[in-house]
Amino acid sequence: MLLSHSTCRDSPGELARAKLVKVLGPARGERLFRETLLAMALDDLTSPDQLYAFSERLVSMGGIEAAVGALLGVAAVVRGAAGRSQGDAPRE
């Protein structure tokens, strides 16, 4: 079961924000969303690959943030992300 009523029609940014707010609460979720975007030098998430990179940053934090990151990583791959770190070699 998904953690919110987000759908495939949501933009990657809307999906990430909704999941963080649902799990962490409005203030903490919004703050983590904005801080992570800032660390990535982005204003928003507009592609599955950006969503995947965002998810990896959350996973690296550990704790509940990592759990949300893992969920978002799966969502990113389902939406077409390559599913690898930028430094990883392409899969064959």
Q: Is residue 5 part of a domain?
A: no
> Among candidates 24, 75, 25, which has minimal Cα distance to 50?
75
Stated as kind and residue range, the H or E segment containing 37 is: helix 26-39
Domain assignment present for residue 16? The answer is yes
The 10s digit of each residue's pLDDT in 18-77 is: 999 999 999 999 999 999 999 999 999 999 999 999 999 999 999 999 999 999 999 999
More confident residue, 86 or 19: 19
Asked if the structure places residue 87 within a domain, the reply is no
Number of domains into which the chain is organized: 1
Range of the domain at 37: 12-78
Q: DSSP readout, 23-82?
A: HH-HHHHHHHHHHHHHHTT-SS--SHHHHHHHHHHHHHH-HHHHHHHHHHHHHHHHTT--
pLDDT band at 83 (very low <50, low <70, confident <90, very high): confident
- Please state the pTM of the whole predicted model: 0.83
